[in-house]
């Protein structure tokens, strides 16, 4: 999916997504317990700056994966314990 939009003389390109975990009943603007930045590089989505006060679950991972699939991107997710 091409994440660009031309309006007048400007071309806007979506490169970063801010993600917040607000719970199943939560909405935008509610309190959250986790946050992550997703940067688009070509057709890859790199999850960076992930911070959480709770455990990161398989359900959480699937939410990131579904977002990327819907946007036509490949999820690239590395946790610090995978790097160290």
Quick check: is 84 in a domain? no
- Would you place residue 80 in the very low, low, confident or very high pLDDT band (cuts 50, 70, 90)? low
pLDDT tens digits along 37-76:
999 888 899 998 889 998 888 999 999 999 999 888 999 8
What is the pTM (predicted TM-score) of this model?
0.78
Number of independent structural domains in the chain? 1
Range of the domain at 54: 4-24+31-79
Partners of 12 in beta bridges: 5
CB 68 within 8 A of CB 42: no
Query: Per-residue DSSP letters for 4-27?
Result: EEEETTEEEE--EEEEEE--TT--
**13/67 Cα distance (integer angstroms):** 17
**What's the chain's average pLDDT?**
86
pLDDT recorded at residue 2: 63
Quick check: is 73 in a domain? yes
Quick check: is 40 in a domain? yes
Quick check: is 18 in a domain? yes
């Amino acid at each position: 999916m091409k994440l660009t939009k031309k309006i007048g003389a400007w071309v806007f390109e979506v490169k970063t997504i801010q993600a917040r975990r607000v719970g199943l009943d939560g909405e935008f603007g509610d309190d959250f317990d986790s946050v992550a930045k997703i940067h688009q590089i070509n057709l890859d989505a790199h999850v960076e700056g992930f911070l959480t006060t709770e455990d990161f679950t398989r359900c959480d991972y699937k939410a990131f994966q579904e977002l990327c699939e819907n946007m036509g991107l490949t999820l690239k997710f590395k946790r610090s314990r995978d790097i160290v």
